[in-house]
Amino acid sequence: MKILLDALNWVLPPGPKAGPDFRRQVEWLMLLRLLVTSFLLALTLFLNFTDNRHLYFDPAFPLYVLFVTIFILSLIYALALPRIQDLWAFSFFQVMVDVAYTTALIHFTGGASSTFTLLYVFPIIASGVLHFRRGAMITASAASLVFGLLVMLQFYSFLPESAWPWVSRWRNYDAGYVLWVLIVHFTVFFFVATLAGSVAEQLKNTKISLTLREIAFEKLSDLHTNIVESIPSGIATTDHKARVTFVNSPGTSLLGASIENLLKADLASIFPDIEKEESEDSHRRPTRITVKEVRGDQRQIEYIVSDLKESDGEPKGRLVVFQDITEIRRMEARAKLSEKQAAFVRIAAGMAHEIRNPLASLRGASELLSLPVSDPTHQQRLLGIIIRESDRLNTLLNDFIQTVSNRQPKKVIVKLSNLLEELLDLFANDPRLSTGISLKRNIQKGVELEAEQERLKQAVWNLLSNAADASPVGAAIQVSLTTGADEAVLRVQDSGPGIPPEIRGTVFEPFTTTKEFGTGLGLSMVLSIVEAHGGTIDILDCPEPGAVFVIRLPLASSEIFTQV
């Protein structure tokens, strides 16, 4: 057997390493051989019984021998199959035996006139499937060789005529007919070999391509699974009926439930506020927070819902991404508390610093008044100091109260354009503008908003005062009022040195100032008033020297209370 396999390997170079699929194909070859042989045996028995009323007569005896031989060979193949290492050569050996078997069958059933000449097609196709195009061509060549040799030997009477009763006798045929038979059969053999080999190779390449795609898909699937399972946030998906179809491992841990209890559950039972998402735009659904009891502890779960879409963009369910923000909220609360404490310390220190100087003056003046002094002018001067410093303390406390006050403004409809015009006319008489500082205004008419007029005047006056203090002699203060998207935009720009970078981030905090005698409460008061009116104030970068303060306030709504 080894010598035969080596010889076959020389004819047909060794193929790829045989795997389970190739072994299965060899098993199918053996099974189909038994089925075809059984069919031929049944056909022979039927013909014998039909013509002779018994199952045996002399011309059929060689066929019975062939059938028994094939059954015996099939048994030997089946027993040897588990022990054969080189299935490639072993399967090709079986194909060559099938060619020899087919030749013997054709010889005993009439040679060129046999009805079984096309049985060569089966081993050719089998070789094409197992050994691809080269194997099929070698098998077709072997079939052509032995069939041609058989026909020629019978034609020239080197072999006796067949005793098979269902064929025409050879003497009725000439050489042209025999040549035609050979050409037709050779053409069929090689056509089938080419077709079977090509189809088998295409199937092989397709299978390889599908295998590579399957491997790539498995890798991509594993990657996606690893990503989804590695994300610390919870991820859940639902079907079109809002029933949970998937929850990743972090999600089950965050929810404190097993995957068995979560699958097929209604999404609204996990996130009670989920029904509110129905009426909202899927592209603008906000982040929501729900409180859930997880392992006996109240946890804050933040989640956002979006549509889970098919490849064609149609939604097929929902995708929920959620995370536990309990600790984050606790840290934020502690940070806010720390910020408030720090701000309180800074404000207290600032107040102590600002109050210390007037108190020192008051104490000094009081001590001097307690001494016996005969000069009434001196006493009058000390009383003036006490009054001035008392007023200074009163102003400081009033400004501080205005700054930290949370009182909501009593809003009425205010024509901001008229208010600014009046305020600028009044500020034009300020003594600080006598040094040549000019006011340039660009006020849009008819701008109305809901505000408390006096507090709004105080905010604008503080900005104008700061601008006047910062501007050099001969400079200009530019004031403009425009409207944007539902808001009024007020800009105040000076020509001073600008805001130093080191205090730019804290310029609105209390007691932050660059003035020699300033309290540092002016801008803090402005911020407090603007925020109380629902607006914002920003400092813009200015290419020219100076600072630009921009106040944005919401315009008046359609509901009018009292017009000023």
Mean pLDDT computed over 504-514: 64
Mean pLDDT computed over 39-55: 67
Mean pLDDT computed over 98-123: 83
Q: Name the percent of the chain lying above pLDDT 90.
A: 3
Residues 418, 464: contact at Cβ < 8 Å? no
Mean pLDDT computed over 290-311: 80
The burial class, CB within 10 Å (0-12 / 13-18 / 19+), for 319 is middle
pLDDT of residue 425: 84
Does pLDDT of 476 surpass 50? Answer: yes
pLDDT of residue 29: 84
Does pLDDT of 488 surpass 50? Answer: yes
Provide the 8-state DSSP code for 478.
Answer: E
Classify the C-alpha dihedral 306-310-312-315 as positive or negative: negative
pLDDT of residue 190: 92
Does pLDDT of 2 surpass 80? Answer: no
Half-sphere exposure of 296 (CA within 13 A, CB side): 0
In 3D space, the residue among 111, 114, 78 whose CA is nearest the CA of residue 94 turns out to be: 78
What are the φ and ψ backbone dihedral angles of 316, each rounded to 5 degrees? -120, 0
Does pLDDT of 300 surpass 70? Answer: yes
**Terminal CA-to-CA distance of the chain, rounded, Å?**
115
Residues 553, 487: contact at Cβ < 8 Å? yes
- Confidence band, pLDDT 50/70/90 cuts, at residue 543: low
Domains in the chain, CATH or no CATH each: 2-210 (no CATH), 232-324 (3.30.450.20), 334-404 (1.10.287.130), 412-554 (3.30.565.10)
Between 192 and 295, name the one with better pLDDT. Answer: 192
Q: Which of 58-62, 175-179, 278-282, 287-291 has the lowest mean pLDDT?
A: 278-282
Does pLDDT of 395 surpass 70? Answer: no
* pLDDT, tens only, 60-97: 677 777 888 888 888 888 888 888 877 888 888 888 88
Residues 529, 456: contact at Cβ < 8 Å? yes
SS3 for 500-532 is CHHHHHHCCCCCCCCCCCCCCCHHHHHHHHHHH
- Confidence band, pLDDT 50/70/90 cuts, at residue 132: confident
* Alpha-carbon distance values, 66 to 63, 90, 105, 116 (Å): 5, 21, 7, 14
* pLDDT, tens only, 260-272: 888 888 888 888 7
